[in-house]
Amino acid sequence: MCETLRVLNAVRFYSVGLPLSFEQFLRLTPEKLIERLINRKEHLLALRISSYLRLPTDRIYVHWASQKVRVSSEDEATICRLIVEKLANKRGISFEEIARAAYDEGRGHLATELLNYEPRAGKQVPLLLSMEEDEIALDKAIESGDSDLIFFVLFQLKKKLPLASFFRVISSRPTATALTESSAQEDDTELLKDLYYQDDRRSDGAHVFVRDALSQRDARGASDKLALAAKLLSDSKDTAFELKALQEAQTLLKMQEAFDRDLEETYTGLSVNKTLFRLLRAGYAGRAKKVQSEFKVSEKTFWWIRLRAHIASRAWSEIETLSSSRRSPIGWTPFFNALLSAGNPKLAAVFIPKCTGVSSAERVEMWTKCGMIKQAAEEAAKARDLKALEELRGKASRPGDATEVERLISQLKR
C-alpha cells in the first residue's frame, strides 16, 4: 500500500497532473499508467516508477530515443552518440524501432547508423531494404549466417533490381552467389544460365544445357540444346574432350531420330551400347555395323553386345553362324555360359571344343552341365582321371552312357 501511495502522490503532483484515485489506479494497472506517462513525455518519472515497482524499462528508453531523433535540432552524429551512450548496456532495447523513427523523419543516415547497434539481423534487414540500402541489408544478412534471411534479401533484390544490377551486387559476395546458384539449380535454370554467362563460367553453363537436353522428349530438341552447349565450349582449349563428347551425342541423336522414323522401336535417349543392343536384337545388323563404325566401338565390346542381343531374341541360328568364326575377341567360354543360362545346352555344347585355355576337369564339368555324360567320360579318360570317371558313374542315367563309363573305367584300371 505504501508503494501504491507513493506512486499516486508522484503522479498527482501539479507538474504531472494525473489525479488518480486508488480504485482508478487498480483498474488502470501500473503498466497502463507507465504508458500514459510515456505519451505525456514524462520519461524520467516513468523510469523512476518502473524501477520502484520493478517493471521493464526498455519501452521507456525506446520511446525517449524515438522522440529525441524526431525533435532534436543537433547534428546526426551527436544524436547517435547521445542515444548510444544513454542506452548502452540496457537490456531489450530495439534500435530498429528507433532507426525506423529516424527514417520516418527523413534522417536516413542516422537510421543507418543506429541500425548498426541492433543485435538482431532479422530486425535490421527489413528496415534496410525499405530504406533502399540493399547492399548493406545483404551484408547484414550474410553476417548473421541465417540462410533463410539471406534468401529473403536475395528474393527482394531480384524482384526489384534489373538482372545485371542483381548480378553486380552478388558477384563480390561468394555466399550470396553460392546460395543464388543452389536455389536456381532447383527451379530457375534460366537464371542459372544468366549467372554462368555473367561470370564467364562456360563449362557450368554447358552442363545446364546438357541437363536440359536430357529432359527433352524429342531428338530434335535435345540436339538443339547440345548444340548450344557445344557453342559455349568451342572457344576453350581445356574442354576438347567435352566438346568431342557433345558432338558425338549430337551425331547419335541424329541417327536415333532416323531409326525412330524408319523402324518400329524408339531409340532416342539410349546410349551407344544400348542402341547397338536394340538394333541387333531386332535383326538390323547392317545399321548396327554403321553405329559401331561411327563411334569406333571396339570389336570386343561389339561381340559382347551381339551375343547378349542374340540370346535375348533367341536367334540361335545367328549364334551358330558365329561359331563358324575362326576366333572370337571375347573367347568362346562366354558363349557357352550364356547359352547354358538361356536353356539351350545342345547349342552350348557346340562351343565346348572351341573353349581353349580351360583344364580337362573344367571341360568334363562343361560336358556334364550339358547332360552329355558320354562326352564327359571320354574327356576324363583322355586325361586319365579315374576319380572323375567314378563320379560320372552315378550321373549316368541312360544305359548307353552307363555302359560307356564302365568300359572307360575298366580300361583305365588295366
Q: Which three cell numbers stand for residue 32?
A: 497502463
- In our burial notation (b when 16+ CB lie closer than 10 A, e otherwise), range 217-243 reads eebeebbbbbebbbebbeeeeebeebb
**369 falls within a domain:** yes
Q: Which three cell numbers stand for residue 250?
A: 549430337
CA-to-CA separations, 147 to 115, 121, 138, 181, 356, in angstroms, rounded: 20, 12, 11, 13, 66
- Spatial CA neighbour of 319 closest among 337, 333, 306: 306
Q: What is the pLDDT of residues 63-81, one digit of tens each?
A: 878 787 777 777 777 878 8
Phi, psi of 405 (to 5 degrees): -65, -45
**197 falls within a domain:** no
Q: How many domains does the chain have?
A: 1
pLDDT at 236: 67
Provide long-range contacts, Cβ within 8 A and 24+ apart, for 218-224.
Answer: 218/268, 219/253, 219/254, 219/256, 219/257, 219/260, 219/268, 220/257, 222/253, 222/268, 222/269, 223/250, 223/253, 223/254, 223/257
Residue 385 makes CB contacts below 8 A (sequence gap 6+) with 360, 361, 364
pLDDT at 302: 92
**32 falls within a domain:** no
Q: What is the pLDDT of residues 145-194, one digit of tens each?
A: 888 888 888 888 888 888 888 888 888 888 888 888 787 777 777 777 77
**391 falls within a domain:** yes
**381 falls within a domain:** yes
Alpha carbon dihedral 71, 77, 78, 83, in 10-degree steps, equals: 70
Per-residue pLDDT of the chain (414 residues; tens, 9 = 90+): 888 888 787 888 877 778 888 888 788 888 888 888 888 888 788 888 887 888 887 788 778 787 877 777 777 778 788 887 777 777 767 777 777 777 777 777 777 777 777 767 777 777 777 777 888 888 888 888 888 888 888 888 888 888 888 888 888 888 888 888 787 777 777 777 777 777 767 776 777 777 777 766 777 777 777 777 777 677 666 777 777 778 888 888 888 888 888 887 888 888 899 999 999 998 888 999 999 999 899 999 999 999 999 999 998 888 888 888 878 888 888 988 899 888 888 888 888 888 887 788 888 888 888 888 888 888 788 878 778 777 777 777 777 767 777 787 787 776
**253 falls within a domain:** no
**Is the CB of residue 270 less than 8 Å from the CB of residue 256?**
yes
pLDDT at 252: 84
CA-to-CA separations, 407 to 378, 402, 403, in angstroms, rounded: 10, 9, 6
**149 falls within a domain:** no
Euclidean distance between CA atoms 383 and 394, whole angstroms: 19
pLDDT at 307: 92
pLDDT at 356: 80
Q: Which three cell numbers stand for residue 326?
A: 575362326
**276 falls within a domain:** no
- Continuous H helices in 270-359: 272-282, 285-294, 299-312, 316-323, 333-341, 345-350
pLDDT at 389: 76
**Is the CB of residue 339 less than 8 Å from the CB of residue 348?**
yes
Euclidean distance between CA atoms 76 and 110, whole angstroms: 6
3-state DSSP helix/strand/coil % of the chain, to nearest 5: 75, 0, 25
What's the domain range around 363? 358-414
Q: Look up cell 543516415; give the residue.
A: 109
pLDDT at 303: 92
